[in-house]
Structure 1
Amino acid sequence: MARRVVTLEEPVRHRLLAEATRLFAERGFESTSVQEIVTAAGVTKGAMYHYFASKDDLLHEIYGRVLRMQMERLTAFSEGDGPIPERLHAAAVDVVVTTVENLDDSKIFFRSMHQLAPDTRKTVRAERRRYHELFRDLVAEGQRAGVFRADIPAEMVVDFFFGSVHHLGTWYHPDGALSGAEVGRHFADLLLASLRPAS
């Protein structure tokens, strides 16, 4: 990973998150010290603790900012007026695209989540659960309307789909043959095909 150039004009909080992301990706969460993060960001420990109570909080926020953005976008798809297959397809593409656009954040989080303090881990799981439940509600809406097959529980559909999304960090590379948008469309096409009622 190329070293990111940090400028002192950037807000302190952003610099801390950027450098924590880079260092966690390069060295791992456990092997990175708070001192290394603040040195790389050009701030003091006191400045860091003004924004983040601990290294756990930094890791939580690295993933949390991505999840909040994804939740906002998913809510817009969920509350949209278009046909449910179109809204679900768009939501499925979006979660793949936003995941690969923030791949370091997602990879760091899933690789290091088990090292979070139990209370923080519980909070993060609840946040992810709310996202998955909103996505599940889109599937269930289509099942109730008769446009999606209803013999597979919506919860299982979502677990299967997100198992693939969360695996992106193990194989996707931005310089690969497919763009994030192309991968997103393939994933969404497969999801919709699996939900198509038998003729």
Structure 2
Amino acid sequence: MSASATANPVRPVQEDILNAAAHCFMDRGYSATSIDDVARSLGATKGRIYHHYRSKADLFFDVFRHGMQMNFDVLVPIAESSQPTADKLRDMAKTHCIAMIRTQHFQRCVWEGVELLQRGATTPEQREVLIELQAMRDNYAEIFRTVLEAAKSEGLARFDSSSIALQLMFMSLNSPLFWYREREGQDASTIDNIASQCALFALRGLGMKEELIADV
């Protein structure tokens, strides 16, 4: 799947708004966050935000969309590369986990958006948008499924159901969303080490041999 199958990129002028909003939504949750909160975090008036977004829901949806687009941007080049399947799956797993950490505030919004859809706590119009965003998330998962199934067919991984394997893999790779906190003095190697451990756990769970994942 090519990057063109994802969503339209967010205009650069909105990125600071989206970043501030993502932090607010992660810290307070969707329901408890107001446009005023986002404006204060941004150091701007709420009129600036309303210039781009007619409502808090529209802003939240764009945060969700932008978070998923960032995932596609780092994953698709690996998925479409010509490297061996084992290397591809290993690199995809670690890269995904690093994205969950580095863009945690966006990814937590993606997670909350999925929960809002499941709970049905939305208007019909909002639900329609969330269904479209969920489809974007599903398309992303399918990129992983394709490589997972290739690994199984090549005898590199052992699992019965690719759907179950996919969910279990994401449980490991997504886990930093809920427990990772940046600490004073940490550097890029800290994130790399966390992602390596999560990816190793996930790949071992898929039944991959140690020699295939030793360099994760």
Length-normalised TM-score, structure 1: 0.79
CA deviation after TM superposition for structure 1 residue 15, in Å: 3.2
**1:144 maps onto 2:153 in alignment:** yes
**1:195 maps onto 2:214 in alignment:** no
- Which residue is 1:5 aligned to? none
- How far apart are the structure 1 equivalents of 2:196 and 2:95? 9
Q: Please report the RMSD computed on the Cα atoms of aligned residues, expressed in angstroms.
A: 2.6
- Which residue is 1:120 aligned to? 129
CA deviation after TM superposition for structure 1 residue 22, in Å: 3.1
| Deviates most, 171-180 or 15-24 | 171-180
CA deviation after TM superposition for structure 1 residue 145, in Å: 2.1
Query: For 1:7-156, what aligned pairs fall within 5 Å after superposition?
Result: 13-38=14-39, 40-41=41-42, 42-45=44-47, 47-111=48-112, 113-114=115-116, 117-149=126-158, 151-156=159-164
Residue deviations 1:67-92 (CA, integer Å, cap 9, x gap): 11211222111111111111100000
* Contact residue 94 and residue 195 of structure 2 kept, 8 A: yes
Q: 1:38 to 1:89 in 2, by over 3 A?
A: same
Residue deviations 1:9-66 (CA, integer Å, cap 9, x gap): xx75233223322332333321222244345542453x43442232122112223222
**1:169 maps onto 2:177 in alignment:** yes
* Contact residue 174 and residue 180 of structure 1 kept, 8 A: no
- Which residue is 1:7 aligned to? none
Instruction: Indicate which of 197, 200, 207 corresponds to 1:186.
Output: 197
- How far apart are the structure 1 equivalents of 2:156 and 2:173? 24
Q: 1:101 to 1:29 in 2, by over 3 A?
A: same
Q: Secondary structure at the match of 2:142?
A: helix
Identity, % of aligned pairs?
19
CA deviation after TM superposition for structure 1 residue 122, in Å: 0.8
Length-normalised TM-score, structure 2: 0.74
* Contact residue 169 and residue 203 of structure 2 kept, 8 A: no
- Amino acid in the other structure paired with 2:23: R
* Contact residue 79 and residue 88 of structure 2 kept, 8 A: yes
- Amino acid in the other structure paired with 2:197: H
- Amino acid in the other structure paired with 2:131: K
Q: Matched residue pairs, number?
A: 185
